[in-house]
Structure 1
Amino acid sequence: ILFSSCRSSDTMPVQNTTFVVTNKRALTSPVGIVRILEALFTCVAFSLVAHVDAWYQRAGDWCMFSWCFCFAITVLILLLEFTGLQGRIPVSWKNFPITFAMYAMLMVLSASIIYPLYFINHNGRNQEVRNYQIAATFFSCLAFLAYAIEVSMTRAKPGEVTGYMATVPGLLKVVETFVACVIFVFISEPVSYDNHGALKWCLAVYCICFVLSVLVIALCVGECTGWLPCAFNKFLSGYTLLAVLMYATATIIWPIFKFEEKHGGRSSRPSNCRNRTGLCDWDKLVAVAVLTALNLIVYIIDLVYSARLIFISV
């Protein structure tokens, strides 16, 4: 039938066949093997927890989401590279895999910390369930190490031409947005920014810098940096300098209005926090102060690298 259709193309339409050429190196290369291990470890982690139904509330939901999401996207990346279809997706493949790997590393790291903190020590269940939880935490830690190895293997090397997200400033953008997301969680449950105008300014700092960092990541992954009305490296330096100045104010303001008693704060840890599972409200305020200072340091390092980009381009 196929032969006759080729001979009689004037009377019978020819059907175009699309062949998918597989790339076995996507699975056998060092990066491919690491990705297979990532998928395996995350799959085992959420399977163990789901088997004994050992998660609840937002903390457990986040851990399960982190493992399942990272597993699904890792498998998707493996399939796309194995089938050679990554070029048909409207994203920059120089930027997307390492961006995801960095986010996955941070997500799985948070799950590896949150899950034992909220569930293993205070579950009140039998030893068998506890063993499953310990095993899930162990495989979650292995998944974190696997993602960290992938980031180390795929990040930009000196003299190598690659995507912006594979460079140190690009990876720092991921850290900045992830830390901001954690801050949002802590200041919204309970709401801890609405009793003074200065604290609302801190919220504005977190939101503005988060949106700008997400915008940079989206422009790089979507290969849309040419849409900017100015040079991309100059935009990076200007926005990073602004973020450093804004975070510097938040780093000073937040502790003043949360831990000094004359401004309505509390300088010591309440007694009701001692027997509480996880973090109490005061602990979350301390976490916000620490994470704000951490993000300030990250933005300063980002600014140094972004300034170097301008001098190198000139």
Structure 2
Amino acid sequence: MGSCLDTIKQTLFQAVFTPTSLISVRGTLHMLQIIFSVVIFVLSALRFTSSFSYWIYAMFTWAFCPTVTLIITIVEMFKLNIPFSMFCMDWSDFTTGMAMTSSLMTLSAAIIYANFYLCISCFYAWLETAFAFLCGVAYLVEVLWDKICKKKKGTYLAALPGFWKVMEAFVSCIIFISLTGYHGMPGLIACISAYVIPFPIILMIIVVNILKKLRNRLPFNQDRFVFTFLIISVILYVFTAIASPVFTFRGNPRPDECPPSCCIWAIEFVVAFMTCVNLILFSVDLVFTLFGICGFQRG
């Protein structure tokens, strides 16, 4: 116990305040990301509030992404990423992976916001949409800077295996916020169960692989667990990809007037389409894992 405390003290003493990190390229991008996110969040919150799931997702994105970016900025400014090595976390992989994740979230939020709230005469909606896309572009530029200019090699989260899991979780979130019209329909409720079951396990797999020391302490072989999980997920999504359109669109043709911003049928189509997208993602993940392609491993 004493040696562990000594190690903690020694690593903490290495933390040094380095304000110059704020004027680096990444530091500047982080500041822009935070500013754009805060501006769009405040503008949207002041205009109106809504219980609409797409609006909640967009607001969550513009709160979550800059919060993570701020934490990363503070950690790097004080070099607190040094103590994180005690947990076997690849800090460079984590930061690039979070930038990639934030790019997905902010760009999708910008597209969703523009689809539902943008109109020709809506000045504030145009302003909010502009800041939303600027935020997404700022995160995308950070990813390109890390991957192309800095040539950072991801170990998990910023590499193909980890980011593939992130995309699976991201598509699941789009499905969740698009679910509608399932009340009183047991068939659709069964489909929702198929969506829900894999989601927390994906998050657990991501966290365990980020914290390598935690992975080494698991009482089971994680690679075999992931492989089994992918088989079950593919089966669940095959069922849902078949059953969901049957229960949703049988006797429910597309209306003659169906604008994307206010048509329930169009939102239900998003669920069916994203179900197929996730089925493809899980299936490719399973095949890659089976053959150990591109760094995907199984035990």
Distance in 2 (CA, whole Å) between partners of 1:108 and 1:132 is 18
Q: Partner residue of 1:283?
A: 266
Q: Partner residue of 1:250?
A: 240
- Taking structure 1 as reference, are residues 257 and 190 closer, same or farther at Cα in structure 2, changes over 3 Å only? closer
The one of 23, 26, 37 aligned to 2:21: 26
- Taking structure 1 as reference, are residues 133 and 281 closer, same or farther at Cα in structure 2, changes over 3 Å only? closer
Q: Partner residue of 1:269?
A: 254
- Taking structure 1 as reference, are residues 24 and 302 closer, same or farther at Cα in structure 2, changes over 3 Å only? farther
Amino acid at match of 2:185: N
Amino acid at match of 1:256: V
- Taking structure 1 as reference, are residues 209 and 60 closer, same or farther at Cα in structure 2, changes over 3 Å only? closer
Q: Partner residue of 1:299?
A: 282
The one of 122, 132, 135 aligned to 2:127: 135
**Is 2:232 aligned against 1:238?**
no
Distance in 1 (CA, whole Å) between partners of 2:162 and 2:26 is 20
Q: CA shift at 1:131, angstroms?
A: 2.4
- Taking structure 1 as reference, are residues 33 and 232 closer, same or farther at Cα in structure 2, changes over 3 Å only? farther
**Is 2:204 aligned against 1:215?**
yes
Q: CA shift at 1:293, angstroms?
A: 0.4
Contact 1:168 1:305 in 2 (8 A): no
Q: CA shift at 1:300, angstroms?
A: 2.4
Q: CA shift at 1:178, angstroms?
A: 1.7
Amino acid at match of 1:56: S
Q: CA shift at 1:155, angstroms?
A: 5.8
Moved more, 299-308 or 104-113: 299-308
Q: Partner residue of 1:67?
A: 62
Q: CA shift at 1:145, angstroms?
A: 1.8
Moved more, 37-46 or 26-35: 26-35
- Taking structure 1 as reference, are residues 205 and 274 closer, same or farther at Cα in structure 2, changes over 3 Å only? closer
The one of 172, 182, 192 aligned to 1:191: 182
Q: CA shift at 1:226, angstroms?
A: 2.0
Q: CA shift at 1:18, angstroms?
A: 6.1
Distance in 2 (CA, whole Å) between partners of 1:170 and 1:161 is 13
Distance in 2 (CA, whole Å) between partners of 1:35 and 1:282 is 39
RMSD: 3.3
Q: CA shift at 1:176, angstroms?
A: 1.0
Rg comparison, structure with higher value: 1
Q: Which runs of 5+ in 1 are unaligned?
A: 1-16
Q: Partner residue of 2:9?
A: none
Number of matched residues?
280
Q: CA shift at 1:206, angstroms?
A: 0.9
Describe the superposition over 1:182-219 as per-residue Cα deviations: whole angstroms up to 9, x where unpaired: 212222x4435x5234x343222211221221110121
Moved more, 165-174 or 201-210: 201-210
Could you tell me the TM-score, scaled by structure 2's length? 0.78
Contact 2:288 2:294 in 1 (8 A): no
Q: CA shift at 1:63, angstroms?
A: 2.5
- Taking structure 1 as reference, are residues 243 and 112 closer, same or farther at Cα in structure 2, changes over 3 Å only? same
Q: Partner residue of 2:115?
A: 117
**Is 2:71 aligned against 1:80?**
no
- Taking structure 1 as reference, are residues 34 and 306 closer, same or farther at Cα in structure 2, changes over 3 Å only? farther
Amino acid at match of 1:135: L
Quote the sequence identity (%): 29
**Is 2:137 aligned against 1:145?**
yes
Distance in 1 (CA, whole Å) between partners of 2:294 and 2:75 is 38
Matches within 5 A, 1:2-13: none
Contact 1:164 1:220 in 2 (8 A): yes
**Is 2:199 aligned against 1:201?**
no
Contact 1:244 1:296 in 2 (8 A): yes
Distance in 1 (CA, whole Å) between partners of 2:258 and 2:127 is 27
Describe the superposition over 1:80-115 as per-residue Cα deviations: whole angstroms up to 9, x where unpaired: 101111344568334532343233222212321222
Distance in 2 (CA, whole Å) between partners of 1:121 and 1:284 is 19
Q: Partner residue of 1:56?
A: 50
Describe the superposition over 1:101-153 as per-residue Cα deviations: whole angstroms up to 9, x where unpaired: 2332222123212222222229xxxx5xx323212211211211222233344
Distance in 2 (CA, whole Å) between partners of 1:256 and 1:191 is 13
Q: Which runs of 5+ in 2 are unaligned?
A: 1-11
Q: Partner residue of 2:94?
A: 96
Distance in 1 (CA, whole Å) between partners of 2:147 and 2:16 is 27
Q: Partner residue of 1:5?
A: none
- Taking structure 1 as reference, are residues 238 and 108 closer, same or farther at Cα in structure 2, changes over 3 Å only? same
- Taking structure 1 as reference, are residues 160 and 99 closer, same or farther at Cα in structure 2, changes over 3 Å only? closer
**Is 2:30 aligned against 1:35?**
yes
Contact 1:233 1:310 in 2 (8 A): no
